[in-house]
Each structure stands twice: as structure tokens, then as C-alpha cells.
Structure 1
Amino acid sequence: MKSVNTQKVWFITGASRGFGLQISKAVLAAGDKLVATVRSKPQDLAAQLGNHEHLAVVTLDVTNEEQAQAAAKQAIDTFGSIDVLVNNAGYGLLSGVEEATAQEVKNNYEVNVFGLLNVTRAVLPYMRVQGSGHVINISSVGGLFGYVGWGIYGSTKFAVEGITEAMAQELAPLGIYATVVAPGFFRTEFLDHSSLVKTSNEISDYAATVGEMRSFAAVVNKKQPGDPVKLAQAFVKLGHAEKPPVHLPLGNDTLAKFREKTAAFEKEITEWYDVITGTDHDDVAA
């Protein structure tokens, strides 16, 4: 993998904690410039990042499209370009599919999907003018593999996977890359109350499935195998890659789950091959 060593301008959403904070630290340490967004108290993040000369902290609620447009313009006014967009802002929803209310589902999509689209629409016009750029969308192992208790959250990340795949094709002729990163289980605040929503509605029939996942999430918190600092270094490499991939799963757990899924898919294809291939019109089949 070749890399370009020129200084980049990054725009990272949800930079106050978790992946966003670690990636922000790594970007500044690499000598790049950074526009980091937070929903509130931008001065706190600026102090946490050392009030760096290459840093601009901007207030942004990604569900507010006008704020997204203003934040992108502020980034351009400050540093002149946006080379790498990292759509990181998001949160988890631990719930059985039936348990989640319509409002809880909508809220999760507002941030994880529609918020990502708000920011992307705000930034891409500047990248198109530049004729260059890289959009990095953060998905999850839950966007590659369905988990009990994570169906709604995972579906938002499945959406991010599909959006990014299409964007990669649409943007390639314009000199812009798109990558979707699917991290596995990393030791961040993801399972803390600050980042994870649990539905108040719990159906007893799901005690052996979703209930067990709730218990597991409490036990595994801060014991996940992934190192967020190493993930941040991977992002710096990705942002400076000359030809970045469309998909980048991060973590041995993510890779194992993806291979497990593809193997199961191939097995089902073999078992249902005649049915799968027997649905074309007769003139096409002939």
C-alpha cells in the first residue's frame, strides 16, 4: 500500500469521545489539520486536544442539516479544504426488533444514517470543486453480521455499508474515494450509558436471546479485544492511502464473523441452488 505524505485536512464528527477522540489525537500527531465537531462544549475538546494550532473545534448536531452546512463552510474558511471526512457520530441501540418503539428506531436512524447523509451532503460540494477527497463512513461488525439484540442498530450500519458502496462508484470519476470501515468490539465508551440506549420495553419471551445479550453487554464492557489507539493509527494510514479500499473491516473478530457469514451463505446457495437459478423466464434460461 502506497501512501501520500502531504498534509491533509480532516473533518471528524462525534470527536468528543470514543473512536472520534482517538482518531482526532492521531490525526494531529501525524501533522495533519483537523476540524473536530462536537454537540456541545467545544472548548472542552479543544483543551483536551491541547488547543493545537492545526485544530478547529466546531459545534455540530449532525441531525441538523443547517448546522452541517455551516460547519463545512467554517472548515473551508479556516483551512481552505476538506480532504478527509470521517462520519463517526452515532450511538448504539440495544433492543429486540419488536421491543423498540417507532420513535426509538427513528431516533437511531436520525443520527446514524440521516445525520451521516446531512454531513456528507454538506462536504461533498467542496470535494467536487477540489476534484479530490475521501469520505470514510464508520459502520460496525453489526453492519456485516446480524446480532441478537442489535437488529435496529445493525440495520443502520447495513444502510451505511450500502450507501458507501454506491458512493464509491458515483464519486470515483470525480477523483473522490469512499470507504466504509467496520470495526469489531473495541474498548471505547460504546457500551456506556453515554453512548448506548437500552429500550424501556423488555419482552419476557426474548429473555433467552435479547435478555442474555443485555447481560453480556454489561459484563464485556471495557473488556473488548480491540485497541482504539491502534484503530486510530489505521485511520491515519487509510486517510493517507493513495488508493484506499471500499471496505475495511478492523479487528480479528470482525474478519472471523464476516468469513462465518459468507461460508454460511455459500452453504445455503448450494442447498437451494436449483430454486435460486430456476426463476428466470424460460426464454432467458434457454
Structure 2
Amino acid sequence: MKTQKTWFITGASRGFGLDITAAVLASGDKVIATVRSQPEQLAASFNNHPDLYVVTLDVTNEAQAKTAAEQAISHFGRIDVLVNNAGYGILAGVEEATAEEVRQNYEVNVFGILNTIRAVLPYMRRQGTGHVINISSIGGLAGYAGWGVYGSTKFAIEGLTEALAQELAPLGIYATVVAPGFFRTNFLDKSSLIRTANEITDYAATVGAVREFATQANRQQPGDPKKLAQAFIRLAAAEKPPVHLPLGTDTYQKFYEKAKAYEQEMEAWKAVVTSTDHEDVKATA
């Protein structure tokens, strides 16, 4: 018999968050779904499902994150799975993005995740069980022109999750970072993607080409978000979940392309790489 779990999903009003929420409810589990505003609308869209509890949360507000976690525990008694989904993209050359645009992207995509982690982990540690799932991106595995700032937030999440997995393992809690490729969601819409007003003509062949591609690729991406949601169900049910889970054939291919290129580069520069040790270290190597 299936043991009913309670999920805490951020950014549940649309995109991945909405599809994961629907899949979790269909699987028989409970969901605390967070939205920035109008929680009653999301609840109504699921016909006020008894296993769904919607709370208001701006992930950049740490006090709100703690309150949302408290509300979740008060309502359902526990949190078994935390899905850090809330976030948005910024399409710009690294030089083009303003300091404030960069800072705000980090506030949501990195510091927001840290806020919810700090809010939820005390309850998971008390239970002695739990699973933290952070959503990264194909842009967190490899750099792309036009996605440098956004990708850097996802690179941060990759590193944070790797360390978190090691820290939580002795406590009976898992951590996984999921890196989706290009999925057919609203990510390339204005609701989820910021395009900077500052466009430098010298980057027309690189960043400019990516801007054109993003416009053409919108709603044509290869990934199916409903299948992604099912992958999350399987991930949360795994006895030994992975630390890294790339999703999408494009992400799978990019991972191996980068690994191969990195290996070739290291071999080409091996003499320089290994030339920097102290002589007493080299003598014992």
C-alpha cells in the first residue's frame, strides 16, 4: 500500500510547478502549493481538492518562507518532499545585464531557494526523513551565450545541492538537483523571461542570434512538461534517489558533450595543470 507523502512545491501557479502539483495530487499524495498571490484561484482550479493546501509565498521573503512552512506543518503535519521550482529567466549578454537585473535574478533563483531550504529542513531533520529537490537547468550544466547570468544562478544551485546531499545523507534526508532541458512551457514567454532593454550591437552574432532563436523556439521546445512531472513522481518514490537528474534528450546530450570536451581540454593542458604543485609534493606523487 502506498504511503501518502506531503509535498511542498514553490511557484505552483504555472509551468513546471503547476504540472508537478497536478501529477502529485493524481498520485494520491498531498501538496502544499505556494503562489505569490491569489491562492484561492489555484485552489479553485483543482476544485478545492482536500489534499491541496495553497499558501502565499514570495520566496525572496525569508519570513514568509518560514510562515509558509509553519502553515504546512499545521495543516498536514509533515513535509516529505520540497520542490524548489520558483524562478525566472533573464536573456542578456553578461555585459548587457544591469547590476540590479543580475541581483534580482539571484534573489529569486538562488537566495529564494536558500530561504525555503532553511524554512523546511528543520522539520525534515525532526522527522529524520525527507527529500529536497532543486530545479536547475541545462544552463546549469553548460554555459550558453545570452544565458550567462541566468545560467550562473543554476550553476550555483548545482553546487549547493551537491554539498547539501553530503550534509543531509547521515540524517536520512536526500537532495537532488534536476536539470531540465528545453520543455514546452511558458518559460520563453514574458511572464517567465526577462529580456534586457540594453542590447549591445557587438553581440548581435551571439546574444542577438539567441534572442531570435528564443522567439522562434517558444512553444516548440522538445520536452513534454507532463512527462517531466511523472519523472518527479518516480524520483520521489526512489529508495536511493540520484544527486543529479538531467531531464530531456537535449540535456543528456549536452552533459556528455561537455564531459568529453572537458576531458580533452584537461589532457591538452595536463602539463600546465600539474606544474603548479610544490616540489616536495611532486616528489611523492
Q: TM-score range by the shorter chain?
A: over 0.9
TM-score by length of 1: 0.98
Aligned-pair CA distance for 1:241: 1.1
* 1:1-39 C-alpha deviation (Å, 9 max, x unpaired): xxx931100000000000000000000000000000000
- More displaced, 45-54 or 151-160? 45-54
Distance across 1 between alignment mates of 2:236 and 2:41? 26
Equivalences for residues 189-204 of structure 1 within 5 A: 189-204=186-201
Aligned-pair CA distance for 1:242: 1.1
Aligned-pair CA distance for 1:284: 0.5
- In structure 1, the gaps of 5 or more residues are none
What is the one-letter code of the residue matched to 2:58? D
Please, which of 39, 42, 47 is the counterpart of residue 45 of structure 1? 42
What is the one-letter code of the residue matched to 2:99? A
Distance across 2 between alignment mates of 1:186 and 1:48? 23
- In structure 2, the gaps of 5 or more residues are none
The answer to whether the Cα contact below 8 Å between 1:27 and 1:236 also exists between their aligned partners in 2 is yes
Distance across 1 between alignment mates of 2:56 and 2:86? 13
* Moved beyond 2 Å, runs of 4+: none
Q: Which residue of 2 aligns with 1:122?
A: 119
What is the one-letter code of the residue matched to 1:30? S
Q: Which residue of 1 aligns with 2:182?
A: 185
Q: Which residue of 1 aligns with 2:33?
A: 36
Aligned-pair CA distance for 1:119: 0.5
Please, which of 71, 74, 78 is the counterpart of residue 68 of structure 2? 71
Find the residue that maps to 1:268 and give its secondary structure. helix
Q: Which residue of 1 aligns with 2:217?
A: 220
Give the number of aligned pairs. 283
Query: What's the RMSD between the two structures over aligned residues?
Result: 0.7
Distance across 2 between alignment mates of 1:50 and 1:239? 25
Find the residue that maps to 2:276 and give its secondary structure. coil
Distance across 1 between alignment mates of 2:85 and 2:107? 14
Aligned-pair CA distance for 1:56: 0.1
* 1:219-242 C-alpha deviation (Å, 9 max, x unpaired): 000000000000000001111111
* 1:31-75 C-alpha deviation (Å, 9 max, x unpaired): 000000000010111111221110000000000001000000000
Please, which of 262, 280, 285 is the counterpart of residue 283 of structure 1? 280
Aligned-pair CA distance for 1:174: 0.5
The answer to whether the Cα contact below 8 Å between 1:37 and 1:57 also exists between their aligned partners in 2 is yes
Distance across 2 between alignment mates of 1:109 and 1:5? 38
* 1:121-156 C-alpha deviation (Å, 9 max, x unpaired): 000000000001000000000000101100000000
Equivalences for residues 89-100 of structure 1 within 5 A: 89-100=86-97
* 1:203-257 C-alpha deviation (Å, 9 max, x unpaired): 0000010001001000000000000000000001111111100000000000101
Q: Which residue of 1 aligns with 2:59?
A: 62
Distance across 2 between alignment mates of 1:270 and 1:65? 45
Distance across 1 between alignment mates of 2:267 and 2:161? 29
Equivalences for residues 122-271 of structure 1 within 5 A: 122-271=119-268
What is the one-letter code of the residue matched to 2:233? V
Find the residue that maps to 1:278 and give its secondary structure. helix
Please, which of 71, 75, 99 is the counterpart of residue 102 of structure 1? 99
* 1:95-116 C-alpha deviation (Å, 9 max, x unpaired): 0000000000000000000000
The answer to whether the Cα contact below 8 Å between 1:181 and 1:247 also exists between their aligned partners in 2 is yes
Distance across 1 between alignment mates of 2:269 and 2:144? 24
TM-score by length of 2: 0.98
